[in-house]
């Protein structure tokens, strides 16, 4: 398992082009990876600079998005959450250039070594294209390749990499490509090189949140999520449910123990026992309540996750719920998208503040509360102790100037 993370780390450092036999180990863990969300290691070669970039440009510009100028980005890869962040970053880059983003390809599988195994999947097979443009109108826009008048009028823009490619240089490059007319005249600017997830971040959390809000699942997938949610709630007398994104798989445990050592904390890895105890101590938890365990069941070596819950807390995972056959029909990305939706709609969500999956769920739940103050969408982090040994209340700080905390995890959560 250790090799798995080293392998990923190597991939990052090589910018995604590594072709080393050492990475064969990845294949061994395919089974491990398939059902889980990818948590990117917090590796030293891949840290965000702590400089908070102060924008000298108002964030509200952008109504000038041109429908006849496009930005093209490389295929978007890795876990669902990384893909969402990468997609948002591509959108925000296009917005900065006042360009329409050509609808990118996502990746249905988690493979990232062999390009032919990446299983490109068109954005509109997962999210609604027209709905996206309607909801994000005036902010960012997606276009189709058929909108191009002349597919040969393309300017390639190589993103730099390495230590010398600073945030400032990256920003200069973007500004140059929007101001200098010899660049800007091109119908399409094609960014080549790294996956957008690895680009520098120039945008505040609320800009990302705005893009995520426009991502609505296609009907087929959202109906599958409906089916799962109605199984969870039961049909006779629909019960509320708590969704717990339980990270207790072996490979996560190895990774998080290392992280704890490095960050000198003990608030990252929670054991099963600790998670159960914290959930049970959530203040005002009405019983009976269904506890849906969003976990890749197959990864659990010795599954005792269904045991040891207090009376009144009724735990389910996919198998016990009888929904694993729904999931099995789909590739990794869709499975993850269904799980994400189930967590998003839960009456209470409990996750790990070091997980990108959990962090994005909380961000969207926070956004829903901001939009409609009458509705409560409480979320908690089980890895941080709160009142009475319950989990810490968790909301996303929408004024953060970048997405760092969300991408790499934190135990400093707003509450």
What does the binding site for ligand NAG look like in residue numbers (CB under 6 A)? 61, 63-64, 98, 150, 152-153, 178, 302, 397, 399-401, 414
Structure tokens at 296: 């890749």
* Residue 298 Cβ vs ligand NAG, minimum distance, rounded to whole Å: 16
* Cβ-based neighbour number of residue 94 at 10 Å: 26
**Residue 119 or 401 having the CB closest to ligand NAG:** 401
3-state secondary structure of 388: helix
Structure tokens at 200: 């520098």
Q: Please give the sequence-ordered ranges of beta strands (E in DSSP) within 140-187, or none if there are none.
A: 142-143, 154-158
* Cβ-based neighbour number of residue 63 at 10 Å: 9
* Residue 121 Cβ vs ligand NAG, minimum distance, rounded to whole Å: 30
* Residue 320 Cβ vs ligand NAG, minimum distance, rounded to whole Å: 16
* Residue 86 Cβ vs ligand NAG, minimum distance, rounded to whole Å: 23
**Residue 309 or 330 having the CB closest to ligand NAG:** 309
CB 76 within 8 A of CB 105: yes
Q: By beta-carbon distance, which residue lies closest to ligand NAG?
A: 64
* Residue 179 Cβ vs ligand NAG, minimum distance, rounded to whole Å: 6
CA distances from 381 to 124, 143, 273, 351, 367 (A): 32, 38, 15, 5, 17
- Helix orientation angle between 2-13 and 250-263, rounded to the nearest 10 degrees: 70
Residue 394 CB contacts under 8 Å (≥ 6 apart), including other chains: 351, 353, 362, 379, 380, 381, 384, 413, 414, 415
Among the listed residues 119, 118, 166, 156, the one whose alpha carbon sits nearest the alpha carbon of residue 16 = 118
* Residue 23 Cβ vs ligand NAG, minimum distance, rounded to whole Å: 30
**Residue 243 or 295 having the CB closest to ligand NAG:** 295
Helix (H) or strand (E) holding 239: none
Among the listed residues 347, 340, 375, the one whose alpha carbon sits nearest the alpha carbon of residue 287 = 347
Structure tokens at 72: 């093209």
* Residue 98 Cβ vs ligand NAG, minimum distance, rounded to whole Å: 4
* Residue 275 Cβ vs ligand NAG, minimum distance, rounded to whole Å: 15
DSSP 31: H
Among the listed residues 246, 212, 254, the one whose alpha carbon sits nearest the alpha carbon of residue 41 = 254
CB 242 within 8 A of CB 290: yes
According to DSSP, the residues that pair with 102 across neighbouring strands are 143
**Residue 11 or 95 having the CB closest to ligand NAG:** 95
CB 138 within 8 A of CB 60: no
**Residue 150 or 235 having the CB closest to ligand NAG:** 150
**Residue 48 or 330 having the CB closest to ligand NAG:** 48
**Residue 13 or 253 having the CB closest to ligand NAG:** 253
**Residue 146 or 152 having the CB closest to ligand NAG:** 152
**Residue 51 or 61 having the CB closest to ligand NAG:** 61
Residues in the chain: 415
* Residue 196 Cβ vs ligand NAG, minimum distance, rounded to whole Å: 20
């Amino acid at each position: 398992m250790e090799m798995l993370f080293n392998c990923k780390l190597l991939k990052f450092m090589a910018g995604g082009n590594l072709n080393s036999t050492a990475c064969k180990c990845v294949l061994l863990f395919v089974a491990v990876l398939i059902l889980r969300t990818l948590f990117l290691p917090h590796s030293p070669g891949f840290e965000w600079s702590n400089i908070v970039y102060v924008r000298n440009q108002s964030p509200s510009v952008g109504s000038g998005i041109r429908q006849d100028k496009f930005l093209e980005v490389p295929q978007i890869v890795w876990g669902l959450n990384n893909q969402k962040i990468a997609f948002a970053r591509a959108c925000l880059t296009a917005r900065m250039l006042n360009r329409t983003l050509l609808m990118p390809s996502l990746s249905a599988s988690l493979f990232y070594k062999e390009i032919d195994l990446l299983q490109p999947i068109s954005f509109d097979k997962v999210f609604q294209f027209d709905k996206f443009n309607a909801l994000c109108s005036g902010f960012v826009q997606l276009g189709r390749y058929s909108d191009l008048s002349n597919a040969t009028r393309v300017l390639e823009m190589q993103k730099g990499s390495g230590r010398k490619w600073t945030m400032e240089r990256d920003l200069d490059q973007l500004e140059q490509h929007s101001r200098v007319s010899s660049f800007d005249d091109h119908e399409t600017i094609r960014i080549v090189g790294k996956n957008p997830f690895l680009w520098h971040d120039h945008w505040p959390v609320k800009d990302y949140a705005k893009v995520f809000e426009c991502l609505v699942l296609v009907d087929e997938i959202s109906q599958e999520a409906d089916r799962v949610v109605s199984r969870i709630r039961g049909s006779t007398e629909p019960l509320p449910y708590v969704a717990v994104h339980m990270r207790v798989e072996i490979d996560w445990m190895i990774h998080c123990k290392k992280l704890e050592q490095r960050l000198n904390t003990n608030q990252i890895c929670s054991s099963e026992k600790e998670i159960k105890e914290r959930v049970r101590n959530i203040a005002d938890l009405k019983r009976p309540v269904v506890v849906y365990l969003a976990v890749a069941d197959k990864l659990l070596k010795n599954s005792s996750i269904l045991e040891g819950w207090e009376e009144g807390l009724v735990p389910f995972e996919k198998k016990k719920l009888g929904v694993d056959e729904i999931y099995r029909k789909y590739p990794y990305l869709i499975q993850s998208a269904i799980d994400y939706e189930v967590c998003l709609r839960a009456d209470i969500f409990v996750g790990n503040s070091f997980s990108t999956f959990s962090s994005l769920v909380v961000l969207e739940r926070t956004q829903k509360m901001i939009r409609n103050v009458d509705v409560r969408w409480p979320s908690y982090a089980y890895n941080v102790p709160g009142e009475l040994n319950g989990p810490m209340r968790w909301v996303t700080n929408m004024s953060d100037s970048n997405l760092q905390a969300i991408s790499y995890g934190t135990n400093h959560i707003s509450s």
